[in-house]
Amino acid sequence: MIRDYFITLSQLLQQKKLYYFLIPGAVITIGYIYLLWLFGWIGTTNEVTDDLSWWRKMILAIEDSGKWIIQSMYQFIMITLLSPVMAILAERADNHLSGAKFDGGFNRMLTDLLRTILITITAFIVFIIVFLVWNSIAWIVGLQELTPYILFIVNAFFIGFAYTDYALERYKYPVIKSWRYGISNSWTMLGIGALFSALFYIPIIGALAAPFLITLLATSIWYIKETK
């Protein structure tokens, strides 16, 4: 089944006209890279050692948390601002795969944007709550080393769901039904989101390519799961 997903993805990648959808993401990516440069976070890592004072350790933990928040905000901003563009990309991909003719027009684009904003804000609020609660618990019991893994899993689910929701909205799923679909297909959401995050961390090109590739992959997965 997984092999079928990537075969279908490769078919979509052969459609040259789809690559025009990379342009808006390139603009946002340039802004994101500038922000990292502004804070001096490009190519830097914090190493916590036992000889550091508790105050210095706390400062480094806050700085690392800031990096996570900025990176997560970028991911959610990419999902939100690019939602009309990625929704059209998903429609074009669906048109190619299924032969259906989706043509949302301006009203559809506005609806997609409002729906994505609602889902993204909800997901981001939950993510921040989980982030703060876990950080507090981890600090108390000394499990800070697990924090990146916990946040990666939570973040991956929400990202995977957001990209899958393009198909759910296109096929008239109400928001509540979409959340139920996402939860019942949690492993699929995690896989999509984890791949997005893995691509995202590839320097420069990953931030540009991830939304484009994951939109096509999520469309491919939806098409195979629901039609075959």
pLDDT at 128 over 50: yes
pLDDT at 211 over 70: yes
pLDDT at 225 over 80: yes
| Average model confidence (pLDDT) across the chain | 78
Q: What is the pLDDT of residue 184?
A: 92
Residue-wise burial string across 6-35, b where 16 or more C-beta atoms lie within 10 A, e elsewhere: eebbeebeeeeebeebbebbeebbeebbee
Alpha-carbon distance of 59 to 168, in angstroms, equals 42
Alpha-carbon distance of 127 to 123, in angstroms, equals 6
Count each helix (H run) and each strand (E run) in the chain, helices first.
9, 0
pLDDT, average across residues 114-143: 78
Residue 176 vs residue 102, higher pLDDT: 176
- pLDDT tens for each residue of 60-75: 565 666 666 666 667 6
Q: What is the pLDDT of residue 48?
A: 46
pLDDT at 209 over 60: yes
- Which of 22-31, 57-66, 140-149 is modeled with the greatest confidence? 22-31
Q: What is the pLDDT of residue 70?
A: 67
Alpha-carbon distance of 92 to 107, in angstroms, equals 17
Total-model pTM: 0.73
Q: What is the pLDDT of residue 41?
A: 64
Q: What is the pLDDT of residue 60?
A: 58
